[in-house]
Amino acid sequence: MEDKKKVIFSGIQPSGNLTLGNYLGALKNWVALQDQYDCYYCVVDLHAITVRQEPKDLRARTLEVLAIYIAAGIDPEKNTIFIQSHVPAHSEAAWLLNCSTYMGELSRMTQFKDKSQRVGDSVSAGLFTYPVLMAADILLYNTDLVPVGKDQMQHLEITRDIAQRFNSAYSPTFTIPEAYIPKAGAKIMDLQDPSKKMSKSADNPNGFILIMDPPEVIRRKVSRAVTDSIGIINYTEDQPGVKNLIDILAVIKKLDPIEVAASYKDKGYAELKHDVAEAIVEELSPIQEKVKELLKDKTYLEEIYKKGAEKANYVSRKVLRKMQKKIGFIQ
Ligand code: AQP
């Protein structure tokens, strides 16, 4: 009998247009993993509303993210691709897990600290409990591996803690998931402030490259990327802007960043930026074409997310029932 494949769960929020960071840190790895694992790739719209979204934009972006998944190479025949709000078990399990989560541990989450500062007084309770919803997403599928960028590591650790707490308070219920952090591309930095990660909701659009940015915009943003006045290309933390450009080039070209840096030893920043921009354009152009095609065929996209929701509902409902039973709810 064939061995059961290990399970992967991951998702991206339609909280803005997807960036090169989302692509290199998450999506590109999802594609590489799809043959080996039983993968659930979700558009996490419930997460997106932890920060206020314009309904019309949220609708459009949710479909665009789905189209980007497929255009990037995630095969809908091999993977379960779905929209989070179509699977009510996520919200229900999140409530149950909220009751096994401590305020103290949620207060330590750096994403909450960063984002709540940006939002100011109107910070939602949802933003605070975001990691619990993420734990529900992962645990409902008995996930073994979660491919994420480095920024999500803390959320994965709290997921493991919540799962272990639930398992020991009741009885073994959840698989304890592991993070799958890519060796390269795990943290792409903001082009204008390389001390911050590249983020789709950053204030300065010159800091991020969008997957759907046209070639001339990509070239312009890369040419304006902040570097330094050292003038020599090295791969070091002391030159975070240059290091970030080398990282981007290395991940796209599947090369070692130190070797990339060495090959630019006698070259200038302008040449490095030119090559980085061209590599990004070459990588993203075919994806952009496919996304545009896919968005013209809403019926096809609907077929995919409906089929995905059917499978995800079936699998997650079983785990939710198990949780409810163990907690002591009458079935
Ligand atoms: N800069 C990055 N480098 C590498 N990986 C990244 N990811 C995000 N930014 C980078 C990875 O993309 C996946 C989806 O992230 P998300 O959209 O669910 O939320 P996020 O991590 O909060 O991403 P953003 O772009 O910063 O969104 P906003 O601005 O809405 O908060 C995750 O696997 C993440 O690690």
User: Would 210 be classed as within a structural domain?
Assistant: no
Name the residue among 62, 98, 64 with its Cα closest to residue 83. 62
| Residue found by looking up tokens 């932890």 in the block | 50
Is residue 115 annotated as a catalytic residue, yes or no? yes
In one letter, which amino acid is 26?
A: A
Distance from C-alpha of 201 to C-alpha of 203, rounded to nearest angstrom: 6
User: Would 115 be classed as within a structural domain?
Assistant: yes
Distance from C-alpha of 174 to C-alpha of 138, rounded to nearest angstrom: 10
CATH number of the CATH domain containing 231: 1.10.240.10
Residue 207 is labelled as binding a ligand: no
Kindly list the distances between the CA atom of residue 319 and the CA atoms of 38, 88, 142, 175, 325, in Å, as whole numbers in the listed order: 17, 12, 8, 11, 10
pLDDT at 57: 97
Tens of pLDDT, residue by residue over 92-119, are 999 999 999 999 999 999 999 988 888 7
Asked if 9 contacts 176 with a C-beta cutoff of 8 angstroms, the reply is: no
- Reduced to 3 states, what is the DSSP secondary structure of residue 286? helix
**Atom 8, ligand 1: which residue's CA is nearest?**
22
Q: State the distance from the centre of ligand 1 to the C-alpha of 134, rounded, in angstroms.
A: 13
Where in the sequence is the domain holding 154, given as residue range(s)?
7-185+298-327
Same domain, 179 and 234: no
Mutate to test the pocket of ligand 1, among 199, 212, 244 (most ligand atoms within 8 A of CB): 199
Q: Tell me which of 6, 28, 183, 197 is the catalytic residue.
A: 197
Residue 19: phi, psi to the nearest 5? -105, 170
Same domain, 167 and 222: no
Name the burial class of residue 138, with classes exposed (0-12), middle (13-18) and buried (19+) by CB atoms within 10 angstroms of its CB. buried
Residue 198 is labelled as binding a ligand: yes
User: Would 209 be classed as within a structural domain?
Assistant: no
Residue 144: phi, psi to the nearest 5? -90, -40
Half-sphere exposure of 126 (CA within 13 A, CB side): 12
| 141 Cβ contact list (under 8 Å, min separation 6) | 7, 9, 40, 312, 315, 316, 319
Same domain, 134 and 98: yes
pLDDT at 114: 87
Same domain, 17 and 105: yes
Q: Report the domain count for the chain.
A: 2
Q: Which atom of ligand 1 lies at the shortest distance from residue 51's CA?
A: 30
Is residue 197 annotated as a catalytic residue, yes or no? yes
User: Would 206 be classed as within a structural domain?
Assistant: no
Distance from C-alpha of 154 to C-alpha of 131, rounded to nearest angstrom: 9
User: Would 207 be classed as within a structural domain?
Assistant: no
Spans of the chain, pLDDT less than 70: 1-3
| Ligand 1 surroundings by CB, under 6 angstroms | 12-13, 15-16, 19, 21-22, 25-26, 148-149, 151-152, 186-188, 197-201
Same domain, 57 and 167: yes
Which bin fits 129, alpha (ψ -120 to 50), beta or left (φ > 0)? alpha
User: Taking the mean position of all CA atoms in its chain, how far away is CA 25?
Assistant: 7
- Reduced to 3 states, what is the DSSP secondary structure of residue 82? strand
